[in-house]
Amino acid sequence: MKEIMAIVRPSKVGATKTALAEAGFPSFTCQVVLGRGKKLMDRTLASAILEEGEVPADHVGEALSEPLRLISKRLFTLIVEEADVAPVVKLITDANTTRSPGDGKIFVLPITESYRVRNGEQAADAY
């Protein structure tokens, strides 16, 4: 078993859950998360805007006024059989690709055990 963790744009939640459900993967968790990637602020753009004398009151101004601002994203977590990892990663990638920075990240981790809380059952089908 593998755990797939996918961090995606909030605007892509609907497309992601639809793609997963239609492909037979309706069991997942989705959470609101905050974070940021490696991309730094474009200093040339920042300088040009700041030379105008004021910081814009929109999202650009917010990014300029707080260069390490955490960005709201959504975290999908699902447990799949090893054979399903590649198809699920492709589904998530296809549903979220805009070809722009910030499209997200996908991580795949091993699951060594799982337990059903209701009855303590430990089994491969307890996920």
Assess if residue 52 is contained within a domain: no
Assess if residue 117 is contained within a domain: yes
Assess if residue 77 is contained within a domain: yes
Give how many domains the chain has, as a whole number: 1
Assess if residue 57 is contained within a domain: no
Q: Report pLDDT digits (tens) over 1-38.
A: 999 999 999 999 999 999 999 999 999 999 999 988 77
Assess if residue 94 is contained within a domain: yes
Q: Report pLDDT digits (tens) over 72-89.
A: 999 999 999 999 999 999
Give the C-alpha separation, 99 to 81, whole Å. 29
- Mean pLDDT for the chain overall: 85
Give the C-alpha separation, 68 to 11, whole Å. 22
| pLDDT, mean of residues 39-64 | 63
CA nearest neighbour of 104 among 1, 2, 15: 15
Assess if residue 20 is contained within a domain: yes
Ramachandran region, residue 53 (left: φ > 0; alpha: ψ -120 to 50; beta: rest): left
Range of the domain at 72: 2-38+68-126
Question: Taking the model in full, what pTM does it have?
Answer: 0.76
The CATH number covering residue 98 comes to: 3.30.70.120
Geometric angle at alpha carbon 79, from 1 and 109, rounded to 5°: 65
